[in-house]
Structure 1
Amino acid sequence: MPSRAEWLEARKKGIGGSDAASVLGLNPWKSNVALWEEKTGRAEAEDISDRECVRYGVACEPLMREMFKLDFPEFRVEHEENSIIQHPKYPQLQASLDGQLRDQTGRLGILEIKTTTLNSRADRQQWKNAVPQNYFIQLLHYMLVTGAEFAILKARLRSEWGELWITEKHYRFERADHEEDLAYLLEKELAFWRMVETDTRPNLILPEL
């Protein structure tokens, strides 16, 4: 099993799930240019491992994975810590999964686990009937890399409006419903990586208002 340090170093050599939204200019925290600067060695990725929200998420992940097993016994759940999966044709496309799933028919799926704090009514609305766009793109990336037929996101949502409020929600996505999105993402990720390899700075993609 790779160490966490080895895993972090390997992530620099390709596009991972948390990078995918940045490639499209749809990551609210990191632009496509900032990502390119990191991948070409011009900048170091910010170390956020000591942030309280990150430490909370890391601590919750194994517990939430076990809860998923109990709540959804129809799935076989597998997980290997610090492992990186590469696309069979494009190894620069990588995935580090919170879990691999098999349903009762043997179809491959992925499990993604998120913890987040809802600080406003807008935050709560964003999770009401969908997942935030950057997380949806992350799921697409994982299906793209692994060939998975479906993806399930398990979210633990916290808020402290007067009292602590916690709920868990599950969102399921079928690959067959998003083939066009997958093709578009593959095209953009390959184009981005060519810019990394040729040291060509991309144009900044500004999110739509």
Structure 2
Amino acid sequence: MSVQKYIFESREAWLEGRHGHIGGSDASACVGANPYKSNVELWEEMTGRRRPIDISDRDYVIYGIKAEEHLRELFALDFPQYKVNYDDHNMFLNTAYPWMHASLDGELVDNDGRCGILEIKTTNILQSMQREKWHDRIPDNYYCQVLHYLAVTEYDFAILKAQLKSEWAGELRIATKHYFIERKDVEEDIRYLIEAERKFWNCVTSGRRPDLILPAI
């Protein structure tokens, strides 16, 4: 197998390059773990039966894009034991999994020379249920995204940096959390996701509608 990293000259070219692949944000839908999109809805989008909803102009998306650069720089300051690299419009492809692609918020190298993934999330906590999803764990949809990136890049570890914003009695509160994931600890989950994505992609290429996977309660 071979992993290749590509750098596109523009966002438009990068968006075009994503066509024909499952991305990290799609991975959770393949296993019924995406709270916003089912596996059938994703299949309809990828087979041209449904137009994806454009959320690029929404405030929380714009905020996340603008904040990413600064949160990446803060990570580098707070964790000097990692070398942090980033390339705009990056995309990783792996010949072992030709239906998958990965675009990273950052690449890490630790003191032992091991390569890792930096994933950055910003979110507004509006309900206690949302807060609970971040308590000592990563929400399932983001966990699937990290597994997907580990599969494509074959890197050794991942760190997810999350900025959680909430309001209490009219006061803005911001909490930052870091989640450290070693590849060796999640190999079984990576294999499970790869097979789920393989089956989903077979449905895309064959045009056969997949059975609906309901999210766990």
Question: TM over 0.5: same fold?
Answer: yes
Paired residue for 1:27?
Answer: 34
2:118 matches 1:111: yes
CA-CA distance at 1:11 after TM superposition: 1.7
Q: Distance in 2 between matches of 1:36 and 1:167?
A: 36
Q: Distance in 2 between matches of 1:186 and 1:30?
A: 19
Report which stretch shifted further, 115-124 or 51-60: 115-124
What is the letter of the counterpart of residue 165 of structure 1? R
CA-CA distance at 1:81 after TM superposition: 0.9
What is the letter of the counterpart of residue 181 of structure 1? D
Paired residue for 1:191?
Answer: 199
What is the letter of the counterpart of residue 130 of structure 2? D
Tell me the alpha carbon deviations over residues 122-171 of structure 1, each in whole angstroms, 9 at most, x when there is no partner: 22222121111110110000000000111000001100122000111100
Paired residue for 1:99?
Answer: 106
2:168 matches 1:182: no
Q: Distance in 2 between matches of 1:12 and 1:39?
A: 8
Write out the 4+ residue segments of structure 1 that deviate beyond 4 Å after TM superposition: none
Q: Distance in 1 between matches of 2:17 and 2:48?
A: 14
CA-CA distance at 1:208 after TM superposition: 2.2
CA contact (8 A) 1:2 1:83 kept: no
CA-CA distance at 1:9 after TM superposition: 2.0
Tell me the alpha carbon deviations over residues 156-200 of structure 1, each in whole angstroms, 9 at most, x when there is no partner: 110012200011110001111111111111111111111111111
Match of 2:12 among 5, 14, 20: 5
Paired residue for 2:3?
Answer: none
Q: Distance in 1 between matches of 2:12 and 2:197?
A: 25
The root-mean-square deviation of aligned C-alpha atoms, in Å, is: 1.0
Paired residue for 1:152?
Answer: 159
What is the letter of the counterpart of residue 182 of structure 1? I
Q: Secondary structure at the match of 1:84?
A: strand
> Identical aligned pairs, as a percentage?
52
TM superposition score normalised by structure 2: 0.93
5+ long unaligned stretches in structure 2: 1-7
Tell me the alpha carbon deviations over residues 12-70 of structure 1, each in whole angstroms, 9 at most, x when there is no partner: 21011000000001100000011111111222211100100001100100000011111
What is the letter of the counterpart of residue 73 of structure 1? P
CA contact (8 A) 1:111 1:152 kept: yes
Match of 1:165 among 173, 177, 181: 173
Paired residue for 1:18?
Answer: 25
Q: Secondary structure at the match of 2:178?
A: strand
Q: Distance in 2 between matches of 1:2 and 1:84?
A: 12
Change over 3 Å in CA distance of 1:2–1:42 after alignment to 2 = farther
Task: Give the 5 Å matches for 1:20-59.
Answer: 20-59=27-66
CA-CA distance at 1:2 after TM superposition: 2.7
Q: Distance in 2 between matches of 1:160 and 1:2?
A: 39
Match of 2:141 among 129, 134, 137: 134
What is the letter of the counterpart of residue 38 of structure 2? S
Report how many residues are paired: 209
TM superposition score normalised by structure 1: 0.97
Match of 2:78 among 71, 93, 107: 71
2:135 matches 1:123: no
